[in-house]
Structure 1
Amino acid sequence: MNDTQRVAIVTGAARGIGAAVARRLATDGHAVAVLDLDEAACGAVVAEIEAAGGRGLAVGVDVTDEEGVTEAVRRVTEALGAPTMLVNNAGIIRDNVLLKMSADDWDSVVAVHLRGAFLLSRAVAAPMREAGFGRIVNLSSTSALGNRGQANYSAAKAGIQGLTKTLAIELGRYGVTANAIAPGFIETDMTAATAARVGMDFEEFKQAAASQIPVARTGRPDDIAHAVSFFASEGAGFVSGQVLYVAGGPRA
């Protein structure tokens, strides 16, 4: 448990990586706002947090909606206090090879991942500056290095890394750090959807992925939550502008 309880916002937190991160930050002693497109879907995670003695709040928001983001942060501040931790995890996939990818598929993926991270980061920067403390953790991906069928996703996740480094430069003087985590293969609904897209059984898909990973297994949401916990900690104040590949092995 941390000596100081902070208020954290985690986007895309109704399930998967985001839910694991929300639960971990609550275990670390922080109040956690669980944000997702469907507010009702956040209820189960909040219930878990509260059952364990923590404070949680479910907030429905489209992270690409500027006014919606402003209202969501207002609600969090009113119910839990000013947010000084932000985990930008919300994301979608619309995979296809370049010649078959529509402009809408490009725009929607870039908007959720990149515009969403920008809007949330901007919205919490002021309370972080006022508090003299802030932790921003952005979810990138190994796909930022390039991945067939994911021109939109890869571009967005590479953009997240550039955004992270710039936030670290601009906000560091206020006691705010910004770091990114680039997961490899993590067992989530999103990777299950990828398996379905390529016509593979998910278990076979995981086994095939694990055979290419040095630690000989695929990742789990808690692997990412552990890394977020470190970046969000008081002791990580001298770590900023970094990209940590949590992928079971090195990435070039």
Structure 2
Amino acid sequence: MSLAGKTILMSGGSRGIGLAIALRAAREGANVAMLAKTDTPHPKLEGTVHTAIEQVRAAGGQGLAIVGDVRDDDDVTEAVLKTQGEFGGIDVVVNNASVIDLSGSLELPAKKYDLMQDVNVRGTFMLSRAALPILKEAENPHILSLSPPLNITPRWLGAHTGYTLAKYGMTMVTLGLAAEFRSDGIAANTLWPATTIATAAVQFALGGDRMMKVSRTPEVYADAAYEVLVRPAREHTGQTLIVEDVLRDAGVTDFAKYAAVPGTPDGELYPDIFLD
């Protein structure tokens, strides 16, 4: 299957992994609707929802910028209706929007805890739910959430409990939808990388420039997401997938091109959180 002519509704995506996924789809001729808050440039971060959609169009796809907040139910409803109105349907929902804070439980501000729950868990549920009636009409409908496998070892449960709860919540929502709507032919899967990805989240939340140098580029995530989204939905659902495993299954054997610093051996790349 192909994403040519298919319509993707994505939360976030002004930069980083979400943008990379959008551009990968756009190069195949997909339509991309993006619900994001970044109406104006951030002083420290590149990109807005408008510049992202400009890049989508330049890459060969059709794009729709929707300024809104995935925490706002009216914005979510409007995003779904605008996407359907613009492109005639929705084939894919990508739950990309996410907030990260690795603070310990005693240090994590209550407002930040609430923000992570609202964006990561509730946002994933509400955007997916709002799109479900339209996804049911799609030829090969997919929900893809950028969240990890449910690794319940003490190492990860106790590392940053607030953030772990929020990311695992995204996965639980996705697996629940997979089970609930399997008979409707809607696939719902999660996707997570084996190594850190060179994004602003890694730079500012995990380890700065040093961590960026031992990460892979967002394109590795985007290529894996593409492979997931072109699979037959009825045959591939309810899975917590790893980026590199997906690409290996697709025949990729050389990951050198994905190193953020060319020439960095795979053994020197930093493993991502939540994976043993």
TM score, norm. by length of structure 2: 0.78
Size of the aligned set, in residue pairs, is: 238
Which residue matches 1:54? 61
Q: Does the 8 Å CA contact 2:203/2:209 hold for their aligned counterparts?
A: no
C-alpha distance in structure 2 between counterparts of 1:206 and 1:14, whole Å: 19
TM score, norm. by length of structure 1: 0.85
C-alpha distance in structure 2 between counterparts of 1:166 and 1:181, whole Å: 15
Contiguous gaps of at least 5 residues in structure 1: 211-217
Q: Residues 141 and 131 from structure 1, CA distance in 2 versus in 1: closer, same or farther, beyond 3 angstroms? A: closer
C-alpha distance in structure 2 between counterparts of 1:234 and 1:121, whole Å: 19
Contiguous gaps of at least 5 residues in structure 2: 41-47, 245-265
Q: What amino acid does structure 1 have at the position aligned with 2:169? A: G
Asked whether 1:192 is paired with 2:203, we answer yes
Which residue matches 1:38? 38
Q: Secondary structure at the match of 1:130?
A: coil
Which residue matches 1:232? 229
Supply the RMSD in Å over aligned alpha carbons: 2.4
1:181 deviates by 0.7
The answer to which of 31-40 and 82-91 deviates more is 31-40
Alignment map for 1:4-23 (pairs within 5 Å): 5-23=5-23
Q: Residues 134 and 42 from structure 1, CA distance in 2 versus in 1: closer, same or farther, beyond 3 angstroms? A: same
Q: Secondary structure at the match of 2:64?
A: strand
C-alpha distance in structure 1 between counterparts of 2:218 and 2:4, whole Å: 25
Q: Does the 8 Å CA contact 2:140/2:232 hold for their aligned counterparts?
A: no
Q: Any idea what the Cα deviations from partners look like across 1:178-235, whole Å, max 9, x if unmatched?
A: 000123411111111114xxxx5x232345xx4xxxxxxx222111111111111144
Asked whether 1:157 is paired with 2:157, we answer no
State the identity %: 31
Which residue matches 2:74? 67
1:31 deviates by 0.6
C-alpha distance in structure 1 between counterparts of 2:150 and 2:183, whole Å: 31
C-alpha distance in structure 1 between counterparts of 2:25 and 2:35, whole Å: 14
Counting helix residues as a fraction of each chain, which structure ranks higher? 1
C-alpha distance in structure 2 between counterparts of 1:243 and 1:115, whole Å: 19
The answer to which of 8-17 and 42-51 deviates more is 42-51
The answer to which of 238-247 and 160-169 deviates more is 238-247
C-alpha distance in structure 1 between counterparts of 2:158 and 2:20, whole Å: 28
Q: Secondary structure at the match of 1:181?
A: strand
